[in-house]
Amino acid sequence: MPERASSYAAEVDWAFNFVFWISVFFFALIVILTVVFAIKYRRRPGVEADNSITHNTKLEVFWSVVPLGLVIVIFWFGFSGFVDMRTFPKDAMVVKVHAKMWSWSFEYPNGVESTTLHVPLGQKVKLRMDSSDVLHSFWVPAFRVKQDVVPGRYTYLWFEAIKTGTFRVLCTEYCGTGHSTMLSAVEVQSPEAFKAWMAEESSGKNLSPVERGKKVFSLKGCAGCHTVTKDRKKLVGPGLYGIFGHEVTLAGGKKVLADENYLRESILDPNAKVVNGFPPIMSLIPLKDKELDGVIEYLKSLKD
C-alpha cells in the first residue's frame, strides 16, 4: 500500500491487512493440504484409495459456517469504514472539481481556479465533481479515496489530509486516448502556506492577455490535447506552436489561413473546420470573452 496521507487511510489499511491475513491463512491451508495429500497419497502399486468416506455432514456444515462468520466480520469492517467515507462533515471546505478529456481543474469557494488541488493540512475538504464529457474517476492513492465522475450529475467525496506533500491524482475510469495522461496532484500545505498561495492566486487578476491566455490554456484542459512546444508534437490534437499565420489543411483537402478568426472559430465551434488527419473530438469548452481573447493572444505569441 502507498503512504498514508488521509484521516481514513489507516482504517482502510487495517481492513486490508485483516483480509490479507485471513486470506494467507486459507491459502496456506489449501496449498499445504494439496501438496501433502498429493505426496502422501500418491499412487502406489497395491495401495487402494479408501472409498469408505463419501461425506460428513458435520464437517461440511462446519466449513460452511466458519467462513460465513468470517466474511460477516470482514463485511462489517468494510462497511463501517465506508460509512466514514460517505458521511460528509458539515464544516468542510467545498472545492469543485471539473473533469474533462483529459484534464482536471479545481475551483475554490472564492472563485480561484487551479490545475492542481491545493488543500490545507488538517482541513476537511469536500469535493463536488462534474464531468463535461464522459466518465472519469478521481483517485488519490495516498488518501485511499476514489469516486467516479459522472456526466450529467454531481458526485462527491471528502477527505482530511494528515500529511503535507504532493500526492498523485489519477483518472481510473477509462476515458479514451489520453486516459493515462489525465493526471494531476494534490498539494497538501500547511494552513499558512495555503493561505499565502490562495492570496497570490486571487491577486493575479491583472495579468497581461498573453499570461491570462496561458493560464486559461492549462486550466481549461487545452494542454491535454495540444502541445505548445516548438517540436509541434501531436497529441490527440495538433501541436499549436507557430500556428498563427500559417496555412492549415482541413479534412477534405481545403487549405485555410490560420488568422484570428480561424482560431476563434476553432475554439468556439470546434467541428466547423476540422484539421486534416485528426478526429473531430474537440468539444466546446465555454470561455468568457476575456479568456477567449487571452487564449488567442497566447496562441499568437507561440512563435520564434
Q: Check binding of 185 to other proteins (CB under 8 A).
A: no
- 189 to each of 15, 194, 201, how far by Cα in Å? 28, 6, 15
Instruction: Please identify which residue in 96, 179, 232, 273 interacts with Cu ion, judged by CB under 5 A.
Output: 179
DSSP state of 2: P
Give me the DSSP letters along 54-82. ---HHHHHHHHHHHHHHHHHHHHHHHHHH
Q: Check binding of 11 to other proteins (CB under 8 A).
A: yes
Q: Check binding of 140 to Cu ion (CB under 5 A).
A: no
| Least distance (Å) between residue 35 CB and ligand HEC | 54
Name residue, grid cell 458521511.
87
* Nearer residue to other proteins within complex by CB, 81 or 122: 81
- Per CB under 6 A, residues contacting ligand HEC are 101, 220-222, 224-226, 236-238, 243, 248, 258, 263, 266-267, 270-271, 274-275, 278-282, 285, 295
Q: Which does 196 bind (CB under 5 to 8 A by kind): Cu ion, other proteins, ligand HEC, none?
A: none
* Nearer residue to ligand HEC within complex by CB, 115 or 164: 115
Q: Which does 162 bind (CB under 5 to 8 A by kind): Cu ion, other proteins, ligand HEC, none?
A: none
166's enclosing H/E stretch is strand 165-171
* Nearer residue to other proteins within complex by CB, 64 or 203: 64
Distance CA 174, CA 102 (A): 11
Total Cβ atoms within 10 A of residue 117: 22
* Nearer residue to other proteins within complex by CB, 139 or 298: 139
Name residue, grid cell 498561495.
197
Q: Check binding of 147 to other proteins (CB under 8 A).
A: yes
Closest by Cα among 2, 9, 1, 3 to 160: 9
Q: Which does 181 bind (CB under 5 to 8 A by kind): other proteins, Cu ion, ligand HEC, none?
A: other proteins
DSSP state of 21: H
Closest by Cα among 214, 213, 239 to 228: 239
Which spans of this chain sit near Cu ion (rule: CB under 5 A)? 136, 171, 175, 179, 182
